[in-house]
Structure 1
Amino acid sequence: MSITNRFNIEQLGESQFDSPIKLSTTKGDNLFDFVSESDRLVFDLSLAHYNHCLSTGEAPICLQQAGPRQHIYFNSKEVTAAIVTCGGLCPGINNVIRGVVMALHYFYGVKRIIGIPYGYEGLNPEKGHGFVELNPEKVRDIHQFGGTFLGSSRGGQDVGVMVDTLQKNHVDMLFAIGGDGTLKGVNAIGEEISRRNAKISVVGIPKTIDNDIDLIDESFGFETAFDVASPILRDAHNEATGAYNGISIIKLMGRDSGFIAASASLAMPVVNFVLVPEMNFSLEGDNGFLKALEQRLEQKKHAVIVVAEGAGQELFKNRKEIKDASGNIKHEDIGVFLKEKIGDYFKERNTPVTIKYIDPSYIIRCAPANSSDSVYCSVLAYHAVHGAMAGKTKFVASKVNNKYVYVPISEVTKKRKKIDLEGEFWFSVLQSTGQPFFLG
């Protein structure tokens, strides 16, 4: 596939039905217009890319704009839609479930919507979970609560079995709410559907608390995560300042990317050290972390340390690579490790310290979405439904360059998004904390 069409979205077939949504095709009539299939948004907004296209005559790399189409692929009154939530919990899942159900029912008149319990396990009849019939009344209030109304699980199931289940239940579209592993799974389901020449749309809605899905601006739940974490950092600071040489260590989620730790520390600027998976650091030595911490205590008599769960894994000797059900490498507990190493360091120097260790991860990920995330979840859900009804498949509804677009699942799962240590965001973190640029 050439670079110019890498963002093309697969289509199940020609859209032959008129949309039941009464929108406009005329500019200036104060009514929202249908989105045309030819509506595209430029992916790379840099001047360098613009000049490159001018000089070479190449068309810019573009993304397909999200939104309702005038003509749709499915006869909406005969559609059966399914929703599944997979992986770890994250704020906003219930908002997305609610948004999908409401959009299907009220926008398109879809009568049958089923919930798949407990992740991809629910598509394996041997697990015996059955289905949940969904309607507006059943999901009306679920957005007020964290977690997932449908239940979740990690790990995949046999793709053939899952597609058999979809076909036996006459499912026309599957909405999969999840992160990298979930999206890879639903893409594999889509590939098997294509091999069978079946006409089922599969759609991903990007959920990961770590904000590590590549290309897109932000995954839902992330903003709530660092919003909830911020007052915890404030309280940890109060705890640290309440003791002579008080040290608070807060471990936040972030297996491969440190966006929550960094963002929460910027939002609540009482943090003195932020340790993330993207940076390597040493404990020992004149430029190591422990020496920097010692200097901080000498000057201010307290310190607040925020560490992402995936940081510092290189410090563990003889570490064995063990994976969880989703295929993610299980990390050693960097928070407990730091607490022990800091305690030993200052004990050897006869320096009294008071160390408090806080791990609020499971409280944060179960929180209900805040107002901003709630808006985002609803809009993502609506765009996912519009895309599926138009017969698009194997795509994620997402936001890129602050615009809602459709992106192939295969593109966003090629790698994990990480903090650019040379970028402005990380520089802002360093300025806020005052920590050395390098620790080691």
Structure 2
Amino acid sequence: MPGTNYDFTIKTLGRCTVNSPLSFSTTQGDYVANYASDERGIIYNIQLPRGDINLDIKKHQLVEKAGPRQEIYFDPAKVNAAVVTCGGLCPGLNAVIRSITHTLFYSYGVKRLTGIQYGYRGFLPEFGLPTVNLTPETVDDIHTKGGTILGSSRGHGDRAREIVDAVERMNINMLFIIGGDGTQKGSLDISREAEKRNLNISVVGIPKTIDNDLSFIERSFGFETAVSKAIDAVAAAHIEAKDACMGVGLVKLMGRESGFIAAHTALASQDVNFVLVPEVPFSLKGEKGFLATLEKRMKYKDHAVIVAAEGAGQDLLEAEKSKDASGNRRLADIGIYLKENIEEHFSSKNWDINLKFIDPSYIIRSAPPNPNDTIYCSRLGDNAVHGAMAGRTEFLISMIYNTYVHIPIPLATSKRNYIDPDGPLWRDVLSATGQPRLMQG
């Protein structure tokens, strides 16, 4: 059966022997919210070939449902939790912090929650960063604001031994790590270092990748807000292009390895004529290349709107061979490259084009979450706490088929999530833009 050869087993710290302080139910239809059951799971891939009715699925092939358990591992009175935000900014970080704080305080009665400042460096003595005491009062209205009250930074996830030294000194037994691929690889190292030392620490990841590129994560928080903000930039580019003589609007959006923001923005806008993403190679020159195709569009309509993901066309540029603090390869600027080459191409043909280049990346990253993302962040934080209290560790909170689930961190970080150029999303993008399937040669 397709999609069931993954091992979704979630690590646990031990048997759950503490009665939950939550007053939930195990009975359907009694108008009381139910505890989550360990006896039911989610099939990861529900697509089956016609005629395939052999559903011989093993327990490890089912995705564990998130939610409160009737019996928990930790005694709430003895919990000392910590939260850290790592990597780049993303809409919704504060909403997740607030949700974790409220669920620990109000649902479980946990009174000790520490905020670690500026990512993993907040654990390291050399930086001398103070911690923040998180209470319902300190997180009161932070969900309405962009950024993170804890600050964030890249890197230092490879210093697991020193981080666990700090965790041990602080007597932390529950660690919530909010971050993307590199951050979660660091959280895996932290979990395994703690395990080596026989420390019963629940390490829980809340996936933060505005690019929506973590595997087994159906939807990343902040992605929907990012698309809604990106649409504003595209609308401005479209007006500038359409209201100018031979106008071109060029918008560069986030998407280092995956072009999901660019693709969804184009679909939502319906004003984009070309979408360039990392997953689909293109040539700049040649009869079927991008510039020749753009020229045909300009002859036909005398304006065009182009959306380029930041990781698109990197094979055309001379990028540095270095990496940033998070271990990501440094990208050359595809936006400036396209702007210069488009202007040069039309200048060589004595065409007087009017090109406007817009890069809204930092406006998008620092924006407060929209209502849907706020709801999603709240529920992610809530379920992260329930999983930690039940002694689960080394897992991410995710959503599959509108159900919150636990995903093993090793599985989520094993590969990136990409647009499938043969799949329905890219097919619909091509339909919306009218661009050729390939622009090469």
Fold match (TM-score > 0.5): yes
Specify the alignment match of 2:298 in structure 1: 297
1:231 Cα deviation from its structure 2 partner: 1.6
SS in 2 for 1:139: coil
- 8 Å Cα contact 2:320-2:332 kept in structure 1: no
SS in 1 for 2:23: coil
1:315 Cα deviation from its structure 2 partner: 0.5
Question: 1:38-437 maps to which residues of 2 (within 5 A)?
Answer: 38-48=39-49, 51=52, 53-54=54-55, 57-59=56-58, 61-157=61-157, 158-317=159-318, 319-437=319-437
- 8 Å Cα contact 1:256-1:277 kept in structure 2: yes
- 8 Å Cα contact 1:217-1:402 kept in structure 2: no
SS in 2 for 1:432: helix
1:43 Cα deviation from its structure 2 partner: 1.0
Distance 1:182 1:50, change over 3 A: farther
1:59 Cα deviation from its structure 2 partner: 3.6
Flag structure 1 segments of 5+ consecutive residues without an equivalent.
Answer: none
- 8 Å Cα contact 2:216-2:398 kept in structure 1: no
Structure 1: distance between partners of 2:221 and 2:79 = 27
Q: List, as ranges, runs of 4+ consecutive aligned residues in structure 1 with deviation greater than 6 Å.
A: none
1:346 Cα deviation from its structure 2 partner: 0.6
Moved more, 64-73 or 121-130: 121-130
1:52 Cα deviation from its structure 2 partner: 6.2
- 8 Å Cα contact 2:320-2:330 kept in structure 1: no
Output the amino acid matched with 2:341. K
Distance 1:51 1:228, change over 3 A: same
Percent identical among aligned pairs is 51
Structure 1: distance between partners of 2:379 and 2:248 = 42
Flag structure 2 segments of 5+ consecutive residues without an equivalent.
Answer: none
Structure 2: distance between partners of 1:143 and 1:370 = 10
1:156 Cα deviation from its structure 2 partner: 1.5
Output the amino acid matched with 2:312. A
Q: Deviations over 1:197-251 (max 9, x none)?
A: 1100000001111000111211111110001111211111000011111001100
Structure 2: distance between partners of 1:418 and 1:52 = 30
The count of corresponding residues between Structure 1 and Structure 2 is: 436
Output the amino acid matched with 1:138. T
Q: Deviations over 1:293-324 (max 9, x none)?
A: 0011001110000000000001014x431100
Structure 2: distance between partners of 1:186 and 1:172 = 14
RMSD over aligned Cα atoms: 1.4
- 8 Å Cα contact 2:214-2:412 kept in structure 1: yes
Specify the alignment match of 2:10 in structure 1: 9
The two structures have a TM-score, normalised by structure 1, of: 0.97
Structure 2: distance between partners of 1:146 and 1:138 = 16
- 8 Å Cα contact 2:258-2:417 kept in structure 1: yes
1:30 Cα deviation from its structure 2 partner: 1.4
Q: Deviations over 1:339-374 (max 9, x none)?
A: 100111011111110111111100001000000001
Specify the alignment match of 1:21 in structure 2: 22
